[in-house]
């Protein structure tokens, strides 16, 4: 596929403590349609089912923020969402540990 890039970043499971927000900023490439997917892991490096991932669009020019939506990880700790990205904006993922864990 021409122009396809796969970027990833790894977040230590020890960062996902209950009652704590975890923010990760990223800038998307120039293509409008983006698919963002990943896996959230617990402190012991096992997949984290039930974690919540919020997606926020940040407009630095107007100092504005807009929540675009959220997803909840599946049994394997995976999440996936798609969005129409504006190349002038930045995007932020906020990860919340599950309220109830097994």
Over the stretch 29-53, which tens digit does the pLDDT of each residue have?
555 677 888 888 887 888 889 999 9
Give me the residue spans of the domains in the chain. Answer: 26-93
- CATH: 3.30.450, 2.60.40, 3.30.160, 1.10.8. Which one for 26-93? 2.60.40
Q: For the range 26-29, what are the long-range contacts, defined as Cβ-Cβ under 8 Å and sequence gap of 24 or more?
A: 26/90, 26/91, 26/92, 26/93, 27/90, 27/91, 28/85, 28/87, 28/91, 29/5, 29/87
Over the stretch 8-25, which tens digit does the pLDDT of each residue have?
555 555 555 555 555 565
| pTM reported for the whole predicted model | 0.69
């Amino acid at each position: 596929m021409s122009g396809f890039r796969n970027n990833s970043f790894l977040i230590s499971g020890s960062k996902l403590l209950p009652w704590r927000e975890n923010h990760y900023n990223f800038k998307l490439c120039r293509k409008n349609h983006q698919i963002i997917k990943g896996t959230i892991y617990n402190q012991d490096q096992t997949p984290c089912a039930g974690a919540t991932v919020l997606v926020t669009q940040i407009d630095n020019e107007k100092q504005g923020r807009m929540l675009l939506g959220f997803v909840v990880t599946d049994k394997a700790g995976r999440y996936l969402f798609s969005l129409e990205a504006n190349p002038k904006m930045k995007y932020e993922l906020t990860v919340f540990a599950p309220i109830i864990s097994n």
